Structure 1
């Protein structure tokens, strides 16, 4: 018999194994509810047959071939922007059609054929809710156009600066699709417009003059709506600024227009390491074979991928949806980075959840899935005051001798504060 000391007791090997089996059974019981529920949350990979049927129907409507579908410029040229076309491709009630017609008088909308192909028939489909206008956009009496006060944090053309060592260059107002929860819908006009070369040169000059800037995020709109040549020029200019250490791209095209991630674009990006690309998958259904292929190309080009989901009512405000999303993202080599609490942007506040829901989602991620699948839950402080992490309370009390901790299973334990005790002894 093999024995070992355990809390002052001698325990046989057989007893140790029995204890381990009991603990394993206890852990398994904690995840059974998710295992049962996840089948009802199909990813885009799991819904491939339905999505392919949608794709074929959309291609037939436009008289398009495979080469057309895979051409991102064709996708942009054939964005759905009218109810007349939309109702030929997805089922719409009279109330839905009327709502879209009323909303489009105030807020622009456009959906790429690709993203439309992900859409289910149910009115509650998470793709549909992100892409198609609803009457709730006109019923918003609490939202504001610019809750982040970006106009007041722009010290130079195209620049937004909220932090000591990093800033944003806003390069365009164009996106592949105009998400209904967009935080910058005030910039979306009837014309897609990129920043002028002069404005971008002024932004670059501001960066050159401020040597503390080591991290530059290129966004918009969508950074990858720029041409390959413009992206190459801008990244080259940033490479030539000695104190700029990393470049980041903010883009949703891996989700809404994966055809944009061409071999030619990837060759451009491969020339300019280190590049970090943050995208925005909000639901597992967006994780498709096409999105995976786009992410594979980016990874092979040396681009580091992260995801910044937005917590959206009726789309992903459930712990199991967010857990599956993050697990699906890791499978395509996209690291969950942030979950953003939705901002009170005018026309979008029907998407805002309670903060309690966000904290509950974080409670059901930590410990229940790998740490790689646990992003940081963020509230963007109003008036451009920056990102504030919101966490469940794990430290219940502390003093110089010990810390009272709550584990992910909500067990309370006392942990010795040894470093503080040693400092006191040495003093």
Structure 2
């Protein structure tokens, strides 16, 4: 399936696409040199918004779910990338333990975990799924909607290792984003490889830090291509010490929203863009589309209803929001089945392995689509993953457009590697 790309028809995105296609050898060499200096996250997914005049990442997840939305045609890419990633970290790897999120009622998420198990099994590993949930005291078998069965087994912690009954893994793959902190059971595992590292979790990660790293990457990439970095980078600000429930810090938030909107207006004027700017306020940590709201005018915050403030003030697992990122809103002009859509690109090691469109029939082009009611349609990566069609005019080729998505996603992945280096507690510090 090749999605209908509304943005293929008009707009500077075609100029950006042409610049990226013309610069492909330089871009790939640039990435090669970067990966010689920096270690990519083990896996990640990147939400991208295509406004027609701008293409930018708006979120990067280092513990991606949604693997079940990748098509069978994409699996060989994922398996090859998994092989490369494991060989680089632990060439003699034999047993892999996947540790998922604790919730067991979300069958769509469990289908994603099962897909991960398939990928690493096909990569040549013995794979089992171990739960750190205190509720899982014996093996739990769950039948998923399509008839597949997944087995969750209780983990067993010895003094220095983590495993299952009769299963001693050399590598542990976390698919748990550690929103509520690091459980003691997975700390101090010095004899096993833990992927991603603990400081990749939301107990340490901050979106503001990630986009600060992305801003640095975007400037360097913009210089390489000779483009304005703003075309691939969402402006952002950061506000701390907010209490949405009591209204504390709302003036500072309104001021930051005003700053971002003013900057975006100047850019829109520079490029002759007639759209109305908006900002997106997000919890500075956390996922699942929680703690997100669209603001079109800073004055809206003063009149924010208590229900909306309460919704903004709490994210996954009941965590209270105190810090937020104020991000330039990027419209999405992509459509699937008459619903607003955005591409989500999946990567493992340094490779793009596939992706899908997240679409939502009840959301607007300036709203968060990661919400209940969202649907998923595979991207056409299987036709030509990272191989654009030379000579095709911009906007005329789905593989060309998806190559461009893959480039932007890899920039976000590179930013995540910068971010992880900066937050690594074991990194050597030099004066």
Bigger Rg, structure 1 or 2: 1
TM bin, normalised by shorter chain, reads under 0.3
Q: TM-score, normalised by structure 1?
A: 0.27
Task: Looking at secondary structure, tell me which structure has more helix per residue.
Answer: 1
